[in-house]
Amino acid sequence: MNKKDLHFLSVVEQGRLLRDRELSPVELTEAYLERTERLNSRLFAYITVTAERALEQARRAEEEIGRGEYRGPLHGIPIAVKDQMWTEGIRTTNASVLLRDFVPEEDATVISRIKEAGVVLLGKLNMSEFASGGRFMFPYGRTRNPWNTDYEPGSSSSGSGAAVAAGMCATSLGEDTSGSIRHPSSWCGVVGLRPTWGRVSRYGLMPIIWSMDQAGPMSRSVEDAAITLQPICRHDPKDPNTADVPVPDFRKALTGSLPMGSSGEELRVGVIRELTEDEQVTPEVRRAFLRAVEMLVDLGAEVEEVSVPLAPWARLIFYTHMYVEMPARYKEWMDERLTEFDYDQQVKFLTGSLVPGELYVKVQRLRTMLRRQVHDALGQFDVLTSPTMRVTAPRIRPNVMPASKEDSADLLVRGPDQTPTVPLSNVTAMNVPCGFAGPEAGGMPIGMQLIGRPFREDVILATAHAYEQATPWHRQRPEIFKA
C-alpha cells in the first residue's frame, strides 16, 4: 500500500489492517511522522512531536499483535493529544511560555487509558494559551486551517482540529470547556464530541473551570470518534467528580439508522429557535443547517422547534465564570508572572479579579435558569440541535483589542460560537460536518451541533452516524491532503 494512501484511511480501516497483520504499526507511524514533518511548518498543528517514542511504541505494538495479544481497535493507531494533558516524560506547555520546560512525572488519566488501549502517541498538539483563547502571542506558532491556511482553525483545541483534518494523525483528543472541541471541529470540518461532565476523568488535565472542563475525541468520522471515546470513559478514583455509571459500547449504537426515541417511537429532535434565527447566524450557515435538519426528517426523525430563551446569553454567563475562576486558580502566577501571559489573558485576569461577588452570584443563578431550560427541552426531545457556530471560519487577521465598550460587549455576548449552553447545563454534545460555505466565504466547513441528555453519548453518536452515512461531507478532504 502506498504510504500516501494511509492518511485517508479511517481508524476502523487501519485497525482491521493492523489486526490482520496486513499493515505494520511501524509503517503507519512512519507515514504520519513523515506527513507531519512535511506539513507542520505550514499548519503549526503540533507543539511537540515525539518521533522516537512513537516508533518505539509502534514496534512494541507490532510485536504484541504478532504474538496474538491484540488489544482492540486502537492498538497500534497513531494518535495525538492536546498539550493541555499531562504526559509523563514529555513536556506539556499548555501553549504558554510559563510552562515551556514543564515535564510531568505522570500521565493524565485519559493518557494512561489510551496507552492501555495500545495507541502510538505521535505528540502534543497546539492550542490557545491555557485553553482560554489568547489572541496575541503564539509561542509555538499560530495554527492554520488546512482547508485554507489563510483562515482560522477555531479554538482552543486548534491543533487537534487541524491535525485530524490534514491527516497528521489518525484521531485525537481535545478538551472542551465552553466549546473548545466543537468550535475547531466545526471550522476544520471534523467530528468532535464533548462528553457529559463527569463521564471522563480530568485528572492531569490543566484546569480552566472545574465544573465544565472535559476531554473528548476529535476524529474524521463518527465511528472513529466512538472508538476514541470508549477507553477514556469510566470512573477514576483520582478524580472524585467522575461519575460511577455504566459505559455502553458506543460502536454498537452505530447502525446507520436513527436510534429509537425514548418513547419507543421516532426520535424526537428539537431545533433551538434562538440559535437558528436569521439574526443569530449567517445565511450560509442557516441554509446548510436547515438542509441537515431536512435530512434528519428524511431519515425518520420527528422535528419541531423548541425555545431555550437564555441560550443566546450563554456566552456571557460562561465568560463571567471563566474570568472569575481562572485568576483564582492561577493567582500565584498572576501575582508574580503576569507579563509572561498573552496580553489578552492579562486583561482577562485583571478584569476577572475585579468582578464583585454579588455579580458572580447573579451569574450562578442565570446558569441554573439556563440549565433548567435545557433540561426541560431535553425532557420533550431526545436530541436538541443548532448550528455549531454562528459563522464560518474567518480569515486570520492581526489581533487588536476591541475599540470601544460596545465592541467589547458584542464580542463577549455574541462571538462566533454557539457552544457554551452545553457545559453550563452539564449535558453532552457533538459537532458533525453538514456542508460548506460558498466561494465568497472561502468554501469553509459548516457544522451541526447535536445535544443529548446527560450520559447519552450513544444517542447523539447514533444520530450523527445516521446523518453522516446519508451525506458526503465526511468524505471531503482539504487540498492540503494532496501535499
Supply the pLDDT for residue 482: 67
Supply the CATH number for residue 328's domain. Answer: 3.90.1300.10
Q: Which three cell numbers stand for residue 296?
A: 434528519
Phi and psi, residue 474, nearest 5°: -70, -10
Q: What is the pLDDT of residue 404?
A: 76
300 SS3 class: coil
Residue 383, domain extent: 3-482
> Which residues contact residue 322 at a Cβ distance below 8 angstroms, ignoring those fewer than 6 apart?
132, 177, 178, 208, 209, 348, 352
- pLDDT (0 to 100) of residue 3: 66
Instruction: Please report, as a single letter, which amino acid is at residue 348.
Output: K
**How far, in Å, CA of 43 to CA of 45, rounded?**
5
Q: 419-452: b or e for each residue (b if 16 or more CB lie within 10 Å)?
A: bbbbbbbbbbbbbbbbbbbeeebbebbbbbbbbb
82 is catalytic: yes
Q: Given 156, 158, 172, 219, which residue is catalytic?
A: 156
Q: Which three-class secondary structure string do you get for 190-243?
A: CEEEECCCCCECCCCECCCCCCCCCEEEEECCHHHHHHHHHHHECCECCECCCC
Per the structure, the count of domains in the chain is 1
* The pLDDT of residue 43: 98
Catalytic annotation on 185?
Answer: no
Q: Which of 24, 82, 96, 157 is catalytic?
A: 82
Catalytic residue among 180, 186, 219, 221: 180
Residues in the chain where the model's pLDDT stays below 50: none
- Model confidence pTM above 0.95: yes
Instruction: Identify the pLDDT of residue 136.
Output: 80
Burial of 332 per CB tally in 10 Å (0-12, 13-18, 19+): exposed
Q: Does 3 participate in catalysis according to the annotation?
A: no
Q: What is the pLDDT, as a whole number, of residue 400?
A: 66
Whole-number pLDDT of residue 345: 86
Q: Characterize the bridge pairing of strands 428-436 and 445-452.
A: antiparallel
**pLDDT for the residue 181:** 98
Predicted pLDDT at 1: 60
d(CA 23, CA 4): 14
Contact 124, 157 (CB under 8 A): no
* Amino acid letter for position 395: R
Q: What pLDDT does 57 receive? A: 98
Instruction: Compute the radius of gyration of the chain from its Cα atoms.
Output: 21
191-194 vs 428-436, strand pairing mode: antiparallel
Nearest-10 Cα torsion for 330, 331, 334, 340 = -30
> How do residues 403-443 score in pLDDT, each as one tens digit?
677 776 676 677 899 999 999 999 999 999 999 999 988 99
Q: How far is CA 19 from CA 65, 102, 211, in A?
A: 7, 36, 39
Distance in angstroms (rounded) separating the CA atoms of residues 158 and 181: 8
